Amino acid sequence: MSKQFPRLFSSLTIGTRTLRNRIVFGTHTANMAVNGLPTERHAAYYAERAKGGAGMIVVEPMPVHPAAILTRGNFRPCDDSVIAPFKKLVGAIKDNGAVAIQQLYHIGAHGDSDNSFHPHWSPSGLPSYHDSDGSHAMSEAEIWETIEGFVEAARRCRAAGFDGVEVWAAYLGLVDQFWTPWTNRRQDQWGGTLENRMRLSREILTRIRETCGEDFIIGLAISDEPDYSVALSRDELAEIVGLHDRQGLIDYVTCGSGGYLDFHKLMPTFLYPEKLGADLAARIKAVTTHAVVIAESHIRTPENAETVLSEGSADLVSIVRGQIADPHLARKASEDRAADIRGCISCNQMCWGRRSRDYWISCLINPSVGREFMWGGDRFEPATTPRNVLVVGGGPAGLEAARVAAERGHKVTLAEASSRLGGNFLLAGLQPRRAQILDLLAWYERQLHKLGVDVRLNCYMEADDVAVMAPDAVILATGSLPPDTGFQKALPAIETLPGIDKGNVFSIEAVMSRQARPGKRVLLLDEGGGWRGGGTAWKLAEEGHEVTILTPDAFVGKELQRTTADVPLRRTLKKLGVTWQVEVSIAEWHGQGATIIDHNSGERSFIAADSLVLAMTNLPASWLASDLAAQGISYVEIGDCAAPRQAPYAFFDGRKVALGL
């Protein structure tokens, strides 16, 4: 029993199953199915979290009808061919000690015609909030067809060995659409009164129980959108859940945040408070007597989870992204080794961000995610022949390479030219609300110390230094540097920004490292559309600068759209007084202002400013590679020095090269 987390590691019974702890690996779309069937990638992904100690795992949602298909990697609906592959998936979970649940869902109006090629179905034919399509008001026959779809899906789950199913009534999906007066404007037995609006969920849950038996767990997933008056309030949700509970229809209820109206809280980034789902869970727990309550949404850590449980807000806690980032979170916490947990940084970049592009998910800081079946999980086999390894550069690529190489038994020296580890990733951690990055870097420092890595700070390596050390393997992770030309991708014929030699022009790296002090009025040219530009603008605005963002994109934070961070970022910037111009570039810098060119009209205008800050594509820092090559010393380049890219590819490079040693 954990001394640090006593409530989290107490057992709990749901239905006829006893969970070994109160940590749930909640449902999310891993998007790993191929031709609608679970894969080896799927099984290994869930198995690793079960081996890591999760008490219950809720497998990603399965659409119950062709109208409900939302992603390329969704499971195949309405087909018994899923049963045999599901048995392997269930075995991977249950054989490793976790209770296995399958979520069943129907998105209602918010479908995806590109994947389903089916009309969207909804209670009253309102438009989709997923795309620009409309929906079709369901007929009586179509409602019963959908109910049958839920029941048949549950039957298949029972046949495959799942311990239960979770019926999805969250995010303003179909069940929630029937509950909500704004989306349910029907005048028949399926609309109007609360009893009628609950008829769909009541029929689904009752018939699943009749079909699958009393020993089959039935859960219900809900969420709230308190910033939207048309959505159900927490009191209304509590009334609905309370009625389902008193009728004995559910064994548990999962409480999340956001939905298709408030999409940015659905998978909240670091811009939002932690423990976001705890308030709704507490409200629901007050009205349930039979069903246990699970709190989810931005509960990243065991500390968060223990707090939610100790406050009585919930009976269990779903930690999803935290267990994506570290699949052994539960085991480490149970051993009171919370400091060894690789903490999620709430970036959404490779989980929700890859899912939004319809790829299988991964993790920015843990490249084994989705590759467990290829790499042996998130664990390491000892190297057959330990070697002396030199890693040059202490950014993400170098840190991961050094850690994994040391985990595998190699003797590792890590040389970093500056006084701190982290590289440009450290600068990202100095932006507002991004201290989780600093926590991650501190984790790396602890792990490298425990593994005996020889970390040398303020150690600038040249080719002669490498030759003297004569390591068995040289890994270069020397990073990247901002260009000094001001070249703009949007103006490809102009190699150098006219007027850049007039001064008062700084890179974001120089600003974030405080090597440069911009003047009061700052123009920030952002060609990346990510946190490098947006986060630096936020930092400057908080420090009292008058900031104007210029971007060739159609909106500020374009790259952040797939992580659902762009809207809350723009709201934050607007509150801080930041202004912006979109679809523009800089025709010339004048030292005290810039001539701006509008890409749509070709018109030019002048903006007065004291400083220009550039967020551009960096160049690889490859001088050491060239010098080593000249001396005939073998090396491998990883991370930005191989090609400047976003952070996940640096972590991936570091892991991959160390696994190959």
- Is the separation of the CB atoms in 251 and 216 below 8 Å? no
DSSP-assigned letter for residue 383? P
* pLDDT band, very low/low/confident/very high, at 1 (cuts 50, 70, 90): low
The token duo for 351 is 């989980």
Instruction: Please tell me the predicted confidence (pLDDT) of residue 466.
Output: 97
Main-chain phi, psi angles of 24, to 5 degrees? -105, 135
Q: Is the pLDDT of residue 131 over 90?
A: no
- Is the separation of the CB atoms in 54 and 126 below 8 Å? no
- Is the separation of the CB atoms in 281 and 241 below 8 Å? no
- Is the separation of the CB atoms in 108 and 157 below 8 Å? no
CA distances from 77 to 61, 66, 222 (A): 11, 6, 22
**Residue 420 is which amino acid?**
R
Mean pLDDT of 393-401: 98
pLDDT digits (tens, 9 = 90+) for 34-75: 999 999 999 999 999 999 999 999 999 999 999 998 888 888
Q: Is the pLDDT of residue 607 over 90?
A: yes
| Pairwise CA distance, residues 402 & 447, whole Å | 10
- Is the separation of the CB atoms in 597 and 585 below 8 Å? yes
Instruction: Please tell me the predicted confidence (pLDDT) of residue 273.
Output: 86
DSSP string, 49-60: HHHTT-SEEEEE
Please name the residue that has the structure tokens 């090396």.
635
**CB-side neighbour CA atoms (13 Å) of 268:** 21
Mean pLDDT of 233-238: 96
| Pairwise CA distance, residues 424 & 464, whole Å | 26
Instruction: Please tell me the predicted confidence (pLDDT) of residue 590.
Output: 98
Instruction: Please tell me the predicted confidence (pLDDT) of residue 542.
Output: 97
- Is the separation of the CB atoms in 18 and 25 below 8 Å? no
- Mean pLDDT score across all residues of the chain: 96
The residues near 392 (Cβ < 8 Å, ≥ 6 apart) are 398, 415, 461, 466, 474, 475, 476, 477, 478, 624
Q: Is the pLDDT of residue 77 over 80?
A: no
**Residue 526 is which amino acid?**
D
| Pairwise CA distance, residues 5 & 302, whole Å | 7
Which of 123-132, 143-152, 325-334, 576-585 is the least confident region? 123-132
Mean pLDDT of 422-441: 96
Sheet arrangement for strand 454-456? 454-456, 411-415, 388-392, 473-476, 636-637
- Is the separation of the CB atoms in 112 and 70 below 8 Å? yes
Q: From its phi and psi, is residue 376 left (phi > 0), alpha (psi between -120 and 50) or beta?
A: left
Task: Provide the H-helix boundaries in 460-586.
Answer: 463-469, 508-512, 531-542, 566-575
DSSP-assigned letter for residue 350? T
Nearest to 478, CA basis, from 632, 652, 622, 647: 622
- Is the separation of the CB atoms in 580 and 549 below 8 Å? yes
Sign of CA dihedral 538, 540, 545, 548: negative
DSSP 3-state assignment of 30? Answer: coil
Q: Is the pLDDT of residue 375 over 70?
A: yes
Instruction: Give all strands (DSSP E) within 156-281, no chain letters.
Output: 164-168, 217-224, 252-257
Instruction: Please tell me the predicted confidence (pLDDT) of residue 50.
Output: 98
Instruction: Please tell me the predicted confidence (pLDDT) of residue 268.
Output: 87
**CB-side neighbour CA atoms (13 Å) of 183:** 32
Mean pLDDT of 634-658: 97
DSSP 3-state assignment of 585? Answer: strand
Output the pTM of the full model. Answer: 0.96
Please name the residue that has the structure tokens 């762009």.
566
| Pairwise CA distance, residues 339 & 333, whole Å | 9
DSSP 3-state assignment of 160? Answer: helix
The residues near 158 (Cβ < 8 Å, ≥ 6 apart) are 211, 212, 213, 216
- Is the separation of the CB atoms in 328 and 53 below 8 Å? yes
Main-chain phi, psi angles of 295, to 5 degrees? -95, 135
The residues near 480 (Cβ < 8 Å, ≥ 6 apart) are 424, 618, 619, 620, 621, 640, 641, 644
The residues near 444 (Cβ < 8 Å, ≥ 6 apart) are 399, 403, 421
**CB-side neighbour CA atoms (13 Å) of 175:** 28
Q: Is the pLDDT of residue 453 over 90?
A: yes
Which H or E run contains 627?
helix 623-630
| Pairwise CA distance, residues 352 & 345, whole Å | 13
**Residue 274 is which amino acid?**
E
- Is the separation of the CB atoms in 628 and 636 below 8 Å? no
Neighbours of 6 (CB within 10 A): 12
Instruction: Please tell me the predicted confidence (pLDDT) of residue 266.
Output: 79
Angle ∠(234,236,240) on CA atoms, nearest 5: 115
Which of 36-50, 109-123, 508-522 is the least confident region? 109-123
Q: Is the pLDDT of residue 454 over 90?
A: yes
Instruction: Please tell me the predicted confidence (pLDDT) of residue 309.
Output: 96
Nearest to 138, CA basis, from 182, 170, 175, 104: 175
Please name the residue that has the structure tokens 């609309």.
191
| Pairwise CA distance, residues 243 & 251, whole Å | 13
Proportion of the chain in helix, strand, coil states, percent, rounded to 5: 35, 20, 45
| Pairwise CA distance, residues 135 & 366, whole Å | 39
- Is the separation of the CB atoms in 365 and 428 below 8 Å? no
| Pairwise CA distance, residues 163 & 211, whole Å | 14
